[in-house]
Structures are given as structure tokens and as C-alpha cells.
Structure 1
Amino acid sequence: MYTAYWPASQRAAISSQEEAEHLLAPYVTKKYLAQELAGIKQLQKQKREPWGSEKVRVTEVAINGDRARIRDCQDVSKSGLADAETHQVVPESTHGPATRHVEALLERDANGAWRLARISILESPCKPPSS
């Protein structure tokens, strides 16, 4: 579920609000969906779209009842933003770090499905798992 969220979020960012909602609803809580849709609207207003992709590298999973935390040491060196009209990469947005420390908080819904409730970028360094 967590790894599938990332490509879905990229597709959502270039979709209408209705389609974005449809793409993200299986992965996020209703409250977080509203935040995601607002972020997509802002990105589209700026005429930007995602470019490239994040490489998910989960380093930790902790489950406590109906809540969970995932720590991820993503490689975002091949991702950034592009101009939504020309699809040209915005140079200052590329070449992110090879390690971006991400924390995702998840909640289990009434049907037993895990959904993202929040994603945060942590300031602390991370080390990707060994291959």
C-alpha cells in the first residue's frame, strides 16, 4: 500500500481534482485526502507537474494497534518538477538528495485497510537498507 501510493500520487498530480481523488482515495484517510487535493491544486496553479520518481527504501515499520509508522530513506536524486505546459524539467527542482528521510503515519480503517494519515520529511539523516 505504501509503495503503491507514490506512483498514484504522481498520476494524481497531473489529473483533474475528481480523478486525483479517485486515484488517492484507496491510499489515504479522508482528512489527508483533502490536504493532498489542496496541494495538487496549488501545484497545478503554479503550472508544475512531477518529474521522475522517488525510489522507496523502507527502513522501519512499527505497528501499534490501529496505527503504524513507516520510516523510508528515499532516493529522490532522479525526481523533481517540470513545467506542466512544456514538460521541461525545472532545473532548480532536480538532483534531490540520494537520501530523503520520510516518515509516514498510517491508520487502519473500519474495514481493516491501512491508509496514510500523514507524510513528513524528517530533518534527520537516514541510511538506506542494505540491498
Structure 2
Amino acid sequence: MTVIGRLAASRIAWLGVAGVALALTGCSNDNDAVALPSSSHTTPSLPSPSSDEEAVKETYTSFISTLDRADSLPDESRRQQLSALMVDPQLSRVLQRVEELRSKNLTSYGKVIVHITSVDVAGNDATLHDCQDSSRAGIMNRTTRKKIKRGVEKGRTKAYLIKGADEKWRISKYVVLGEGC
């Protein structure tokens, strides 16, 4: 190693030692130590949607999940729970469908899986397209549990949403467009 190389290596070594010493001593003047934050077990709050598009997707996904079990919601709070995700005319349609199923001793089963293909937001209105998989969901007899109708693997749907005065998105209309995506 040349003289210049040894000098550079010696300076680098010295800087390393000085850096470690500074890191170990910190920037303290030997006054009282500062306590570290405790490791409490608080549940972090969910981050708010980063955009209207994300909020629309979240609302739609919750809407579909709620539709899967709308007829099992308690009678006294059904309208209130559903109105958190939808407005008329969709709200009235869902409530009417629940009553229709009950009158025929039918209920829903399974879970629909969403595959959102596009979202278009224009001010306080949004349109969402989905290619959902409802092949493991459908309608069955409430008493016998016999499956009457089953969904399809690829079903095209379209949802119209509006943003309310409370800044929350809700489904105003939900349309099944047909099989195949």
C-alpha cells in the first residue's frame, strides 16, 4: 500500500471511530434522560382513503358484502345499516327484495367476490364497473337450505354512486349487465 493509501485508510478509520463515539454519546449535555415512547397496544386508526376513487372502491366493496347478508340484518336496524352505503332508489329496491325473499321463505347464501375493472369520478358522481364472481353465492330455501339459484363466475355489473353532504359515497343504482367480462 502506498503512503497516500495508508494515509487515506488511517483517516477513514479515524472517521469511523469518531462516528461510533458520536453515535454512542449522542447530542446530550448529560441532563435527564428522555424516556422512549411506551409500547402500548393501541389499535392504529385506518387511514382515510387517499382519493375519491379509492373511497368509491371501498364503498362498493362494502355494499356488495352487505348485500350478501342484507336479509339477515335485524328488521329494526336494517334500513339504517343499509343507508350507510346506499340511497334511493337502490335502498328501496334492496329493502323490497329482502321482503320478497322472506315472503317466499328464501334467503341468500355465500359471498360475492368483486373484481373492479374501472372507476370514473366526475365531481360528486361516480360510475364503477365490476366483473364479479358470484358462483359461490345465490338464493336458497330458508328452511330446507336447498339451493335454488346460484350466481355466475363472471358477471358484469355497473354501480352509480353519489357523494353526500357528509362527504361519503353511497350507491344510488346497481345494475347487473349480464354474464361474461
Which consecutive residues of structure 2, in runs of 5 or more, have no partner in the other structure?
A: 1-58
Q: Which runs of 4+ in 1 moved over 3 A?
A: none
Correspondence for 2:156: 101
Correspondence for 2:110: 52
Correspondence for 1:23: 81
Q: Secondary structure at the match of 2:112?
A: coil
Correspondence for 1:119: 174
Q: Does 1:70 align with 2:128?
A: yes
Cα distance between partner residues in 2 of 1:87 and 1:19? 25
Q: What is the RMSD computed on CA atoms of the aligned residues?
A: 1.6
Q: Secondary structure at the match of 1:28?
A: coil
Read off the aligned partner of 1:5 and give its amino acid letter: F
Cα distance between partner residues in 2 of 1:125 and 1:67? 26
Correspondence for 2:140: 82
Read off the aligned partner of 1:33 and give its amino acid letter: L
Shift of 1:52: 1.0
Give aligned pairs, total.
123
Larger radius of gyration: 2
> Which structure would you say has the larger RCO, counting Cα contacts within 8 Å and 6 or more residues apart?
1
Q: Does 1:14 align with 2:67?
A: no
Q: Could you tell me the TM-score, scaled by structure 1's length?
A: 0.85
Cα distance between partner residues in 1 of 2:91 and 2:76? 12
Asked whether the equivalents of residues 12 and 23 of structure 1 are also in contact (C-alpha less than 8 Å), the reply is: no
Q: Could you tell me the TM-score, scaled by structure 2's length?
A: 0.63
Cα distance between partner residues in 2 of 1:124 and 1:81? 17
Shift of 1:33: 1.4
Cα distance between partner residues in 2 of 1:45 and 1:16? 16
Percent identity, please: 24
Cα distance between partner residues in 2 of 1:31 and 1:80? 23
Shift of 1:87: 2.5
Read off the aligned partner of 1:45 and give its amino acid letter: S
C-alpha distance 62-106 of structure 1, shift in aligned 2 (>3 A)? same
The CA deviation string for residues 107-131 of structure 1, in whole angstroms up to 9 with x for no partner, is: 01111110000000113741xxxxx
